[in-house]
Amino acid sequence: MSSEPYDVVVAGAGPAGLLTAALVAGRGHRVLLLERDPCPGGLPGGVVRERSTAVNVVIEDERVTGLRHLPQGEPARTVRARCVVDASGGDSPLRRHVAGARGSSGLAVYACFTADTGRAEGPRRFPFGNGWFWTAPAGDGLTQVGAVVRPDLADRVRADPEGALSGFAEACPPVRDLLAGAVRAAGGPGRIRVRPHWSYADHRLWRPGMLLVGDAACAVGAQPLPVLGTHLACRGAGLAARALDGFLRGTADEAEAFAEFEHRYREAYDSVLHDGIPQDGGPHDGILPGEGLHPEGTFPPPPVPFAGAARAGVSR
């Protein structure tokens, strides 16, 4: 084991991982952030090791107690930590230690139409009995219209995509009205496409000594508002940081804190997936200010850009 034990090791420096690491380090905890690619910034109060790939976790007596990583061009290393946070993406090799298998959450069927652009402002989304519709401007006077429906409707969709899309539209009045008099676009844009909709939430988001955040935990697939995915990642980071801070300070029981993290993270996921809106109005609303995650009650300082001597806290 490494002679440098940390309170938290975070694997992955995407939005969820970087924000989790910054918030926890901002509370004075010892944090190591690992990133397999060149890292976009430093970590005030913590340590960043770029070009280092997380390969596995260390488990002792059913608890995750460390992380094994592979620095570029160097032998593998093992570092001990009180908690490991997996933020290394949907293809993470670590998440299997927490979550089970995952599959698509449904099926998307969509095409482009010539529609009244005055009524096609967007992107918009509309729930209906079998799932939800999205509409979004697609350029050249076209509007993309699609439905995401339950997996049990897959046979119906694949057997007759055009009929299925039309039938779903009839069951969703705003989309039915939008498409009244509309014509499906010619050529490729008008072709009705069917694909899995890869929104997912893992069966479990934590185990003793380990949390999942970002795409390692859940993702909302293709969205008419791409910022919703970033919102969800940041929401998870804030919830994770609060749970970790309570546990590390001894003011909260680990199981209770982590279970609350999972419960609230799933609420945020469901809100984005089914309603298409952030649960709390903004990526950080109700997460950071007012919840004591930074000593001064404010957002931690922004990451330090990599530039010469400004690479403080960064190692390879």
Task: Encode pLDDT of 202-237 as tens digits.
Answer: 779 999 999 999 989 988 765 555 677 888 999 999
Are residue 81 and residue 134 in the same domain, yes or no?
A: no
Q: Characterize the bridge pairing of strands 210-212 and 206-207.
A: antiparallel
Please indicate, yes or no, whether residues 123 and 175 belong to a single structural domain of this protein: yes
Q: What is the pLDDT of residue 291?
A: 42
Q: What are phi and psi of 8, to 5 degrees?
A: -140, 135
Can you tell me the distance from the alpha carbon of 224 to that of 135, in angstroms, rounded to the nearest whole number?
7
- pLDDT, tens digit (0-9, with 9 covering 90-100), for 42-80: 899 999 999 999 999 999 999 999 999 999 999 999 999
Count of residues making up the chain: 316
pLDDT digits (tens, 9 = 90+) for 279-294: 554 434 334 433 434 3
Nearest-CA neighbor of 125 among 248, 288, 276, 279? Answer: 276
Percent with pLDDT over 70 in the chain: 78
Categorize the per-residue pLDDT at 121 as very low, low, confident or very high, splitting at 50, 70 and 90: low
**Boundary (domain end) residue, out of 168, 197, 226:** 197
Taking CA atoms, 204 is separated from 30, 200, 259, in Å, by 26, 12, 10
Stretch 245-256: mean pLDDT: 97
Q: Which region among 49-53, 113-117, 130-134 has the lowest average model confidence (pLDDT)?
A: 113-117
Residue 1 belongs to some domain of the structure: no
Residues 190 and 249 in one domain: no
- pLDDT at position 19 is 95
Q: At what angle do helices 227-249 and 15-26 cross, to 10 degrees?
A: 30
- What total of structural domains would you count in the chain? 2
| For residue 123, cis peptide bond before it (omega within 30 degrees of 0) | yes
In a domain, 229, yes or no: yes
Examine the fold and report which residue of 197, 215, 248 is the final residue of a domain before the chain moves on.
197
State the DSSP code for 154.
Answer: H
**Residue 153: which domain range?**
106-197
User: How far does Cα 295 stand from its chain's mean position?
Assistant: 26
Q: 85: closest CA among 205, 200, 202?
A: 205
Do 14 and 67 share a domain, yes or no? yes
